[in-house]
Amino acid sequence: MSLHPQFARPRTLDQAADLLSGLASGAVVIAGGQELTPSINYGHLMPSVYVDIGAIRELKGIKADDGEIAIGALTVHRDLQNNEIVQSDLPLLAHAATQVGGGWQVHNRGTIGGNIVCMHPLYDILPSLLALKADVEIATAGGVRRAALAEIMTETSHGLGSEAILTRVLVTPMPAGTGWGYEKLKITAGAYGSANAAAVVSLTGPKISNLRVVIGAVTALPVDVSAGLAEFVGREWSASLGQALAERCSALIAEPLSDHQGHGDWRRAMAGVVAARAVAAAVGRVGKD
Ligand SMILES: Cc1cc2nc3c(=O)[nH]c(=O)nc-3n(C[C@H](O)[C@H](O)[C@H](O)COP(=O)(O)OP(=O)(O)OC[C@H]3O[C@@H](n4cnc5c(N)ncnc54)[C@H](O)[C@@H]3O)c2cc1C
């Protein structure tokens, strides 16, 4: 560890990308510091250079742009909760941001970019973004590329690389008539989730015509179980269908985590519970947002 880490605060994305490409691997990007600072305090990370991206204008703001919502990487949880565009077009994401723990400090400082890049199994934002099929934009000194969020996720980390900066999150607005649900189960009020689920549902008449479910906090990375739920499409929601969906979702969980949030067998069972609750909430919201 360098006892005197250096600090850089580039003003543009190009400057930041050039800086990162020229630095040794001990350099880290810092945004809100809500993940990084605890990691450093616990001695898990010892950067030699901090590259503070907080002054880069290109990473700020939320706007509707060419049929999609572009969310700057520096957008904090509080803005996701309160922004009118997110509230009206991506209510699932606005709600998920309210479920982030840690209080005012984390809500006012923690960014969507930092939350994504951590790829922490217990966090709240990824399941919703995956259920909404979000893309991300990534900048390096070589240029900017766009990728599906699902594609940059790997088993051990994010697929960004240490020289990359996540710049924007791009999400298609939820079509009118789409229902959504986000359910989080915690063992105490201040705990991280033991299981969470994001659901997006469309109905044709009383029957489910589109169903997306992503389960988080149960496995090393959130699991998109939508492909395993094909048999529920074309069916009318009921308590018995909810029970069947819960059982199916639990069965789709391989290698559940066992940690402070609970034992793996219980987490697997709870994955089904939160998934069924999220779908029930989504069905109940169809046509109401
Ligand atoms: C007490 C506490 C409770 C919390 N509870 C929850 C919770 O319940 N749910 C939840 O979802 N989260 C929770 N968090 C985590 C917090 O929400 C996220 O960590 C926050 O969004 C991280 O964003 P940041 O800007 O602070 O990231 P930072 O700490 O600045 O960075 C985190 C990581 O991402 C990298 N990084 C950041 N931005 C970029 C970028 N644009 N491009 C490339 N790399 C980048 C950094 O290099 C670092 O590796 C909690 C945090 C604390 C301290």
Question: Do 192 and 274 share a domain, yes or no?
Answer: yes
Indicate the SS3 state at residue 39. helix
Note whether residue 1 is domain-resident.
no
Ligand 1 atom 1 nearest Cα: 102
Ligand 1 atom 32 nearest Cα: 114
Q: What is the pLDDT of residue 190?
A: 87
Question: Do 195 and 270 share a domain, yes or no?
Answer: yes
DSSP 153: B
Question: Do 279 and 183 share a domain, yes or no?
Answer: yes
Nearest atom of ligand 1 to the alpha carbon of 112: 21
Using CA atoms, how far apart are residues 281 and 276, in angstroms rounded to an integer?
9
Using CA atoms, how far apart are residues 126 and 267, in angstroms rounded to an integer?
18
Q: Domain boundary at 171, 195, 226, which?
A: 171
Note whether residue 19 is domain-resident.
yes
Distance set, CA 282 to CA 53, 83, 94, 252 (Å): 36, 21, 15, 20
Give the list of residues 6+ apart from residue 82 with CB closer than 8 angstroms, or none: 94
Highest-pLDDT range among 124-128, 149-153, 188-192: 124-128
* Helix, strand, coil abundance in the chain, percent, nearest 5: 35, 25, 35
Question: Do 44 and 144 share a domain, yes or no?
Answer: no
Note whether residue 255 is domain-resident.
yes
Question: Do 191 and 271 share a domain, yes or no?
Answer: yes
Note whether residue 230 is domain-resident.
yes
Question: Do 97 and 196 share a domain, yes or no?
Answer: no
Q: What is the pLDDT of residue 154?
A: 80
Ligand 1 atom 38 nearest Cα: 114
Range of the domain at 18: 6-52
Nearest atom of ligand 1 to the alpha carbon of 166: 42
Note whether residue 279 is domain-resident.
yes
Question: Do 202 and 121 share a domain, yes or no?
Answer: no
Question: Do 84 and 163 share a domain, yes or no?
Answer: yes
According to DSSP H, which parts of 138-223 are helical? 149-152
Q: Which CATH number fits the domain that encloses residue 219?
A: 3.30.390.50
Q: What is the pLDDT of residue 47?
A: 85
Q: What is the pLDDT of residue 44?
A: 85
Nearest atom of ligand 1 to the alpha carbon of 160: 43
Q: Which CATH number fits the domain that encloses residue 45?
A: 3.30.43.10
pLDDT digits (tens, 9 = 90+) for 254-286: 999 999 999 999 999 999 999 999 999 999 999
Question: Do 208 and 258 share a domain, yes or no?
Answer: yes
Nearest atom of ligand 1 to the alpha carbon of 35: 29
How many angstroms is it from 258 CA to the middle of ligand 1? 22
Report pTM: 0.96
Amino acid in the structure at residue 73: A
Question: Do 102 and 116 share a domain, yes or no?
Answer: yes
Average pLDDT (145-151) is: 95
Mutational pocket test of ligand 1: of 35, 45, 119, 163, the residue with most ligand atoms within 8 Å of the beta carbon: 35
Of 56 and 154, which is predicted with more confidence? 56
Note whether residue 74 is domain-resident.
yes
Q: What is the pLDDT of residue 278?
A: 98
How many angstroms is it from 114 CA to the middle of ligand 1? 4
Ligand 1 atom 53 nearest Cα: 34
Task: Give the total number of structural domains in the chain.
Answer: 3
Decide: 179 and 200 in contact? Cβ < 8 Å: yes
Nearest atom of ligand 1 to the alpha carbon of 30: 30
Q: What is the pLDDT of residue 3?
A: 65
Ligand 1 atom 50 nearest Cα: 102
Using CA atoms, how far apart are residues 73 and 249, in angstroms rounded to an integer?
31
Note whether residue 166 is domain-resident.
yes
Note whether residue 35 is domain-resident.
yes
* Token representation of residue 82: 């309160």
With bands split at pLDDT 50, 70 and 90, how would you rate the model's confidence at 177?
confident
Ligand 1 atom 35 nearest Cα: 114
Give residues (CB < 6 A) around ligand 1: 28-36, 38, 53, 73, 100-102, 106, 109-111, 113-115, 117-118, 123-125, 165-166, 192
pLDDT digits (tens, 9 = 90+) for 86-116: 999 999 999 999 999 999 999 999 999 999 9
Give the list of residues 6+ apart from residue 49 with CB closer than 8 angstroms, or none: 5, 6, 7, 8, 23, 24, 26, 27, 28
Question: Do 25 and 106 share a domain, yes or no?
Answer: no
Q: What is the crossing angle of helices 264-285 and 239-251, to 10°?
A: 140
Phi, psi for 124 (deg, rounded to 5): -105, -15
Q: Domain boundary at 116, 143, 171, which?
A: 171
Q: Which CATH number fits the domain that encloses residue 127?
A: 3.30.465.10
How many angstroms is it from 288 CA to the middle of ligand 1? 32
Question: Do 48 and 67 share a domain, yes or no?
Answer: no
Distance set, CA 210 to CA 65, 190, 223, 237 (Å): 25, 34, 18, 12
The helix (H) or strand (E) run that includes residue 245 is helix 239-251
Q: Domain boundary at 171, 204, 233, which?
A: 171
Q: Is the pLDDT of residue 122 over 60?
A: yes
Q: What is the pLDDT of residue 43?
A: 86
